[in-house]
């Protein structure tokens, strides 16, 4: 089971983990030394006490032992200090490398999935949590092997050496204690998980309130929100208290066992044939204290193996999900593409059960101006995503210049086909960085697009460095749209896809920008509700109900398609 999860691990991640194995083995060895150095002094202490009481004074052998005692304790401190730092550095590097690799994998994805999980921060949070969990369970196993287990072994070794009868009698108590610990620690983990979850809900709720303040006020729903919020608080409070209750009971019941075992040692030491020396009693009592702590660690971590398997499984599941499948990259270079005609051959696309594009076929010669029209939700944006290669058709083929879109090299495709999304994502960065997005740094090109997209005023208005804050929360919808437009046309693409790019622009901007774009670009495919722009199109793709579609010139459609006629009339 565990091994099959390891096998399932993506090769890149395997490599990263493998690279850390040597360091981890070294850490285990250090832990083993520390374990001995922390267990042995308790026996030494007993010896010193016995020597002092027998020899009645600080003889040279007593002084020697005290010196050894100090030396061992001191070296233990040094080793522990070193191992903590070393362990932490392993953790930091492992986590860092796995995360960087994961983000690389995310960016490698060729097609976006229907549910677009990838775009949500929830998805990234899941990856981050999975990595944290994985690294944590790896290190806990290391700790378990290196420290808890060895400490337990050494402790029992010394107890047996002092008095094997006592050692045998302690064993059943230790076992019961261990089982109890295992039970409690499971309860504790569940409870603390619930507490963390309810705490997260609380924070989410607060964010939701902040984000929806205007809605709450307009619809007079303060009471409703507050009521729900109170419930969330109530839930958190209960979980928090439950956590506390479990941990106090566990400490109490385990201490009880400690008391029982110590009394047992005292009773056994004083009775029977073999009297136990005072120093030995001291060692035994100190070891009992140790056992108490170690048992907690050892048996907490026995579940750790299944925890590691589970976290590996979760990690693998995330990276084997449909939406993170990494497809073969296209390899056709620009020089192999004869023209920029676009062709759909019986293309089908659905979201889950919802069919959006139904057996669609068309041919768009290079240089055409094509309008996509239709009511909300008929699939206009989806169609653009298919043409742009962001989505993969369920069946059918999409060709660009007679080459399957799938086979065209990503870079070639992105350099020649650009897409202004219905809503452009704005980064909290300078205007120019938002337009270049790391691809160009040519001032002339920047001036050219800021002119066309009428962004000069914005650049002037923004404070020093032209920084946009809060992902453009302080920009108007039109300003954001202009930035989105600018970042597409700066590439001077062969094919330009525009998704409702005018809907936030004022009439004047609409006219100027449309004219500029029309005159400067070859193939343009645009989604619009603007009648005037529609007039200029060479071809109109009208998306009707139930995946029906009609393709023709605007005037042909007006005379031949009743559905289209009605649509135009209403608009
Ligand atoms: N990521 C998605 N997951 C599931 N359904 C979606 C998704 N995106 C869009 N849809 C659905 O697909 C239909 C077409 O969406 P879209 O192409 O955005 O329409 P349009 O741009 O014409 O308004 C809509 O009914 C919408 O609800
Ligand atoms: Mg849309």
pLDDT above 80: residue 325: no
Residue 377 lies in a domain: yes
What pLDDT, in 10s, does the model give residues 55-112?
Answer: 777 788 889 999 999 999 999 999 999 999 999 999 999 899 988 888 887 777 777 7
496 contacts 524 by C-beta, under 8 angstroms: yes
Residue 329 lies in a domain: no
Of all residues in the chain, the percent with pLDDT exceeding 90 is 31
pLDDT classification of 117: cutoffs 50, 70, 90: very low
How many C-beta neighbours within 10 Å does residue 552 have? 16
Q: Are residues 319 and 343 in the same domain?
A: no
Per DSSP, 146 falls in state I
Q: Are residues 232 and 256 in the same domain?
A: yes
Candidates 174, 167, 162; CA nearest to 283 is 162
* pLDDT recorded at residue 302: 58
Residue 124 lies in a domain: yes
Q: Is 104 in the pocket of ligand 1 (CB under 6 A)?
A: no
> For a pocket test of ligand 1, which of 111, 379, 503, 567 has the largest count of ligand atoms closer than 8 A to its C-beta?
379
What pLDDT, in 10s, does the model give residues 346-376?
Answer: 999 988 778 899 999 999 999 999 999 999 9
Residue 86 lies in a domain: yes
Q: Are residues 293 and 341 in the same domain?
A: no
What's the distance, CA 339 to chain centroid?
Answer: 41
Q: Are residues 141 and 280 in the same domain?
A: yes
Residue 308 lies in a domain: yes
Q: Are residues 304 and 390 in the same domain?
A: no
Q: How far apart are CA 288 and CA 44, in angstroms?
A: 16
Q: Are residues 212 and 121 in the same domain?
A: yes
> For a pocket test of ligand 1, which of 112, 356, 548 has the largest count of ligand atoms closer than 8 A to its C-beta?
356
Q: Are residues 51 and 92 in the same domain?
A: yes
Q: How far apart are CA 36 and CA 154, in angstroms?
A: 7
CATH of the domain at 96: 1.20.1560.10
Residue 101 lies in a domain: yes
State the distance from the centre of ligand 2 to the C-alpha of 160, rounded, in angstroms: 76
Q: How far apart are CA 42 and CA 280, in angstroms?
A: 10
Q: Are residues 367 and 255 in the same domain?
A: no
Q: Which of 277, 302, 324 is the last residue in one of the domains?
A: 324
State the distance from the centre of ligand 2 to the C-alpha of 499, rounded, in angstroms: 7
Number of domains in the chain: 2
Q: Is 528 in the pocket of ligand 1 (CB under 6 A)?
A: no
Q: Are residues 347 and 309 in the same domain?
A: no
Residue 118 lies in a domain: yes
Q: Which of 295, 324, 353 is the last residue in one of the domains?
A: 324
What pLDDT, in 10s, does the model give residues 413-425?
Answer: 988 999 998 888 8
Which strands form 549-552's sheet, in the order they lie side by side? 417-420, 495-499, 523-527, 369-374, 539-543, 549-552
Q: How far apart are CA 566 and CA 571, in angstroms?
A: 9
Q: Which of 277, 300, 324 is the last residue in one of the domains?
A: 324
Q: Which ligand is nearest to the CA of 117?
A: 1
* pLDDT recorded at residue 43: 94
Q: Are residues 315 and 351 in the same domain?
A: no
CATH of the domain at 498: 3.40.50.300
What residue numbers bound the domain in which 456 lies? 334-570
Q: Are residues 307 and 428 in the same domain?
A: no
What pLDDT, in 10s, does the model give residues 243-253?
Answer: 999 888 888 88
∠ Cα 452 457 463 (to 5°): 135
Q: Are residues 12 and 150 in the same domain?
A: yes
């Amino acid at each position: 089971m565990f091994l099959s999860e390891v096998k399932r691990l993506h090769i890149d991640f395997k490599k990263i983990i493998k690279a850390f194995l040597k360091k981890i083995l070294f850490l285990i060895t250090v832990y083993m030394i520390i374990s001995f150095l922390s267990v042995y002094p308790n026996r030494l202490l007993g010896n010193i006490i016995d020597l002092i009481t027998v020899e009645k004074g600080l003889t040279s052998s007593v002084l020697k032992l005290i010196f050894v005692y100090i030396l061992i304790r001191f070296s233990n401190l040094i080793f522990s200090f070193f191992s903590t730092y070393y362990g932490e550095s392993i953790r930091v590097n492992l986590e860092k490398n796995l995360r960087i690799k994961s983000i690389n994998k995310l960016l490698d994805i060729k097609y976006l999935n229907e549910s677009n999980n990838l775009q949500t921060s929830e998805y990234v949070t899941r990856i981050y949590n999975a990595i944290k969990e994985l690294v944590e369970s790896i290190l806990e196993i290391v700790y378990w092997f290196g420290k808890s287990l060895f400490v337990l072994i050494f402790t029992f070794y010394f107890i047996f050496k002092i008095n094997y009868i006592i050692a045998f009698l302690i064993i059943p108590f230790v076992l019961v204690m261990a089982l109890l610990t295992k039970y409690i620690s499971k309860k504790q983990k569940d409870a603390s998980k619930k507490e963390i979850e309810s705490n997260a809900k609380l924070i989410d709720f607060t964010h939701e309130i902040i984000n929806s303040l205007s809605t709450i006020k307009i619809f007079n729903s303060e009471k409703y929100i507050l009521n729900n919020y109170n419930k969330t608080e109530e839930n958190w409070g209960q979980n928090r208290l439950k956590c506390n209750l479990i941990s106090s009971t566990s400490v109490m019941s385990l201490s009880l066992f400690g008391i029982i075992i110590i009394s047992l040692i005292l009773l056994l030491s004083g009775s029977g044939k073999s009297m136990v020396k005072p120093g030995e009693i001291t060692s035994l009592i100190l070891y009992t204290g140790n056992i108490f702590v170690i048992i907690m660690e050892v048996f907490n971590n026995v579940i750790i193996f299944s925890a590691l398997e589970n976290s590996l499984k979760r990690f693998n599941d995330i990276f084997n999900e449909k939406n993170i499948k990494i497809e073969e990259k296209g390899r056709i270079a620009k020089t192999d593409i004869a023209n920029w005609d676009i062709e759909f051959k019986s293309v089908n696309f659905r979201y889950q059960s919802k069919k959006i594009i139904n057996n669609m076929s068309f041919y768009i010669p290079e240089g055409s101006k094509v309008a996509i029209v239709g009511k909300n939700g008929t699939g206009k944006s989806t169609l653009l995503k298919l043409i742009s290669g962001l989505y993969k058709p369920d069946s059918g083929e999409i060709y660009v210049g007679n080459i399957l879109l799938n086979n065209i090299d990503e870079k070639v495709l992105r350099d020649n086909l650009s897409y202004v999304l219905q809503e452009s994502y704005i980064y909290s960065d300078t205007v120019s960085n938002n337009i270049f997005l790391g691809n160009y740094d040519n001032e002339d090109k920047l001036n050219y697009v800021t002119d066309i997209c009428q962004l000069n005023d914005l650049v002037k208005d923004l404070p020093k460095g032209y920084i946009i804050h809060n992902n453009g929360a302080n920009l108007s919808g039109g300003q954001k749209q202009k930035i989105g437009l600018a970042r597409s046309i700066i590439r001077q693409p062969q094919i330009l896809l525009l998704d409702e790019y005018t809907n936030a622009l004022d009439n004047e901007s609409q006219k100027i920008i449309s004219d500029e774009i029309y005159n400067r670009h070859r193939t343009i495919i645009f989604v619009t509700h603007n009648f005037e722009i529609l007039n200029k199109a060479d071809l109109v793709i009208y998306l009707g109900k139930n995946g029906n579609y009609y393709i023709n010139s605007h005037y042909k459609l007006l005379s031949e398609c009743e559905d289209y006629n009605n649509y135009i009339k209403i608009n």
